[in-house]
Amino acid sequence: MQEGRDVLSCVIASSQTVFEHAGGVIPEEAAREQVRYILPVLHQAMEEAKMEPRNLSAIAVTRGPGLLGSLLVGTTAARTLARMWRKPIIGVHHTLGHLSSPWLDLPQADEPRFPILTLSASGGHTDLWLRTTHLTGHLIGRTRDDAVGEAFDKGAQLLGLPYPGGPAIAKLAEGGNPDAFAFPMPLKQEDTLEFSFSGLKTALRYLLRDTENADHRDMAASYQAALCRHLIDRIIRAMKRHPEIRELHLVGGVSANAVLRTMLADALPSVRMRFPMKLTYCTDNAAMIGAAAQCMITERKDVAFAPFETHASLPLASAVMSDE
């Protein structure tokens, strides 16, 4: 990673095949896999970037939140290398990484303009952030129950599809009719920026139980559209409440969803919208942690290089500094 934008290499060792049939990640197994892969991945990343350790100015690593075993594999490797190579180390909040992902590969002339509304939608999160700079802002909405990625994953399980459910549902839905089945709109009467996805998942369960010979493509398409409609409904509310917003960013695994992107563009044609430039930058990756580290250096050097602890339950709101 160079200048917080230019990705010199981005190697991802996905444990997807290991967990495809488990319906989700098994923490112990994940950490064991990471121990096996971390050094080969680092080696490949340095080689692809044509980098020598002496050319590095710092090492960035995710310090939390997340699965403790996985975090410890990463931070232990980073701390060891930092000591060996005599480099400073920067501990990055996982969510700040996602928030920084739209800057990856972005041309220098194309500078996003704050205030920015970011929907961070992944397997663990559905959060709306309003930021006035990279590092300042606050959380204005989150989910009351399941995350939207989790709703994709659980829905996929109900439909007999593999993990992760998002891409599996999106693929099955391709030939289906999104209007075939009616799903309720969650929290319709409530003027809040919160989300709720558990009702949609339950609606899918009953639909599968009560509908004979239903076309699963139609069901997947209708379910996907319902999840997207709820996300878009809350985004529109947030934009109305905060007319100062100049851009809308979508990050996290679910931002890879093509139907969501199309529906959003249709619903908000005049809004400047950005997604991570590559699909691999939507799901978890190391480049976004490098981008976030660069923002930390630029905006708050004292914070960037401060000692840190690995923290499985690092508070979500601490991803940015409150401007309230």
Q: What does the binding site for ligand KG4 look like in residue numbers (CB under 6 A)?
A: 122-124, 149, 152-153, 164-167, 170, 252-254, 256-257, 283-284
Number of H helices, E strands in the chain: 11, 8
**Residue number, 75 or 283, with CB nearest to ligand KG4:** 283
Closer to Zn ion by Cβ: residue 199 or 252 = 252
Query: What does the chain come to in residues?
Result: 324
- Least Å distance, CB 66 to ligand KG4, is 8
Task: Quote the least distance from Cβ 231 to ligand KG4, whole Å.
Answer: 11
Q: Residues 117-156, buried b or exposed e (16+ Cβ, 10 A)? A: bbbbbbbbbbbbbbbebbbebbbbbbbeebbbbbbbbbbb
CB of 94 to Zn ion, least distance (A): 6
Q: Which is nearer to Zn ion, 64 or 137 (CB)?
A: 64
129 is written with which tokens?
A: 């952030």
Verify binding: residue 284, Zn ion, rule CB under 5 A: yes
Question: Is the bond preceding 164 in cis, omega lying within 30 degrees of 0?
Answer: yes
- Give which of Zn ion, ligand KG4, none residue 256 binds (C-beta under 5 to 8 Å, depending on kind): ligand KG4
**Residue 186 binds which entry of Zn ion, ligand KG4, none, CB below 5-8 Å type-dependent:** none
Q: How far is the CB of 148 from ligand KG4 (least distance, A)?
A: 8
Structural contact between residues 151 and 228, judged by C-beta atoms closer than 8 angstroms: no
CB of 179 to ligand KG4, least distance (A): 19
* Residue number, 70 or 75, with CB nearest to ligand KG4: 70
Instruction: Please count the residues of this chain forming the interface with Zn ion, following the rule CB under 5 A.
Output: 2
Counting contacts by CB under 5 A, is residue 122 touching Zn ion? yes
4 binds, among Zn ion, ligand KG4, none (CB under 5 to 8 A by kind): none
What the block records as the tokens of 312 is 């499985």
Rounded CA-CA distance 160/162 in Å is 7
Instruction: Rank residues 146 and 284 by Cβ distance to Zn ion and give the closer one.
Output: 284
CB of 63 to ligand KG4, least distance (A): 15
Whole-number Å distance between alpha carbons of 183 and 87: 53
Taking CB under 5 A as the binding criterion, the range among 115-123, 141-149, 183-191, 263-271 that sits at the site for Zn ion is 115-123
Query: In terms of Cα–Cα distance, which of 127, 150, 168, 142 is closest to 257?
Result: 168
* 239 to 114, 128, 261: CA distances (angstroms): 13, 11, 17
From the list Zn ion, ligand KG4, none, pick the one residue 199 interacts with, judged by a Cβ distance below 5 to 8 Å according to partner type. Answer: none
Q: Which is nearer to ligand KG4, 127 or 153 (CB)?
A: 153
Pick the closer one to Zn ion by CB: 122 or 126. Answer: 122
Q: Which does residue 91 touch among ligand KG4, Zn ion, none (CB within 5 to 8 A, set by kind)? A: none
Q: Which residues have a Cβ under 8 Å from the Cβ of 284 and sit 6 or more positions away?
A: 12, 94, 122, 253
For residue 100, state whether it binds Zn ion (rule: CB under 5 A): no
Pick 4 or 252: Cβ nearer ligand KG4: 252
Gap between the Cα atoms of 225 and 88, Å rounded: 46
Distance CA 192, CA 207 (A): 28
User: CB 95 → ligand KG4: shortest distance, Å?
Assistant: 9
DSSP 212-281: TT--HHHHHHHHHHHHHHHHHHHHHHHHHH-TT--EEEEESGGGG-HHHHHHHHHH-TTS-EE--SSGGG
Is position 153 an interface residue for Zn ion (rule: CB under 5 A)? Answer: no
Q: Is 150 in the site for Zn ion (CB under 5 A)?
A: no
Interface residues with Zn ion (CB under 5 A) are 122, 284
